[in-house]
Amino acid sequence: MRDTPGVAILMLSQHVETHQLLELLGDHPAGVGYLLKDRIPEVERFLESVRLVAAGESVIDPEVVRRLVGKPRRASSVARLSDKEHQVLALMAEGRSNRGIAQYLFLSVKTVETHVAGIFGKLGLPPAPDQHRRVLAVLRYLHDQ
């Protein structure tokens, strides 16, 4: 679906189609977004999603994340995460920053950073100059759900 790497894509859908999302994210998940059309009336939230995708981030509609998270879990590396790490990773999958996660969960940014580091460690995602660990963690999370 992504024939032009480096071009940001924000897909709007009437229905949750997880297979389309996974195909869209593919091997190059930076600069992609998948929102449900009913989010468009929330103008500020929609514009923030556009800005994030244009900046190379990934944004996934919270309803899509909820549907993926609601599926029965299989044994996976994600299963090793604590409940709080699961919460943090689900919010990462919604496109929230560490600061946004901290505000949502009533935690300090430092605590969220600690959880994110724990997630990277448990998922076996060491720092690499050519990879975005946050996106890889979200992909693993979505795939394993």
Long-range Cβ contacts of 123-130 (<8 Å, 24+ apart)? 123/77, 123/78, 123/81, 124/77
Q: Is there a contact between 140 and 77 (Cβ–Cβ < 8 Å)?
A: yes
- In tens digits, the chain (145 residues) has pLDDT values of 456 667 788 878 877 776 667 776 766 677 788 888 877 777 888 888 888 888 888 888 887 777 766 655 455 678 888 889 989 999 999 889 999 999 999 999 999 999 999 999 999 888 888 888 998 898 888 877 6
CA distance 122 to 124: 5
Please name the amino acid found at residue 64.
Answer: V
Provide the whole-model pTM.
0.51
Spacing of C-alpha 121 from chain mean position = 17
Instruction: Check residue 8 and give its pLDDT.
Output: 82
Q: Is there a contact between 139 and 58 (Cβ–Cβ < 8 Å)?
A: no
CA distance 13 to 45: 16
CA distance 42 to 39: 5
Domain boundaries of the chain, sorted by first residue: 1-61, 72-145
Indicate the CATH number for domain 72-145.
Answer: 1.10.10.10
